[in-house]
Amino acid sequence: MSTRVYQSAEVKQNIEKVWKVLREFTFPEKVFSFIESCVIEGSNDTPTSVGAVQLSDYRHTLTYELISSEPATEVIAYITTIKLYRNSQTDSTLITWEADFSADVSSEVVQFESKAFALNLSDLQKFFSK
């Protein structure tokens, strides 16, 4: 049985502009100040490997999983999905960020990730308000 973390936020920008940034797998280095670099696997030796599982331009979804990390993470596995939804009334975008963790995840990790997703979404709101 897995445990899920879920957060969402509205970005006052149309879905096409938001998706153009987020569909690029290297978007974290552009948006989050705490990430020094983000490269496509195979182009550089990195201590943490994340693999894209699914990218859908039609559904505006990006799903990825943690492959490896140094130092090691506190869970065996997790899969994360970012989804965008168009708000046609306001021309804004709802972003959802969720993760499914392996059964070995602790409540502390779940709480940490939930807060981290909320902070990430807040950073995305700031990024798209520029």
Higher pLDDT, 2 or 60: 60
Give the gyration radius of the chain's Cα atoms. Answer: 15
Q: pTM score > 0.85 for this model?
A: no
- So what's the pLDDT on residue 49? 47
Provide the domain count of the chain.
1
- So what's the pLDDT on residue 121? 93
Q: What angle separates helix 107-128 from helix 15-22, to the nearest 10 degrees? A: 120
Which residues lie across from 23 on neighbouring strands?
none
* H helix runs in the chain, sequence order: 15-22, 27-31, 107-128
Domain encompassing residue 116: 3-128
CATH of the domain at 39: 3.30.530.20
In tens, the pLDDT along 66-120 reads 665 555 566 667 788 999 999 999 999 999 999 998 888 888 888 988 998 999 8
State the first-to-last Cα distance of the chain, in angstroms, to the nearest integer: 41
Higher pLDDT, 1 or 6: 6
- So what's the pLDDT on residue 96? 98
In tens, the pLDDT along 31-57 reads 666 666 655 555 445 444 455 568 899
Q: Is the pLDDT of residue 59 over 60?
A: yes
- So what's the pLDDT on residue 43? 47
Q: What is the largest CA-CA distance in the chain?
A: 45
Higher pLDDT, 37 or 127: 127
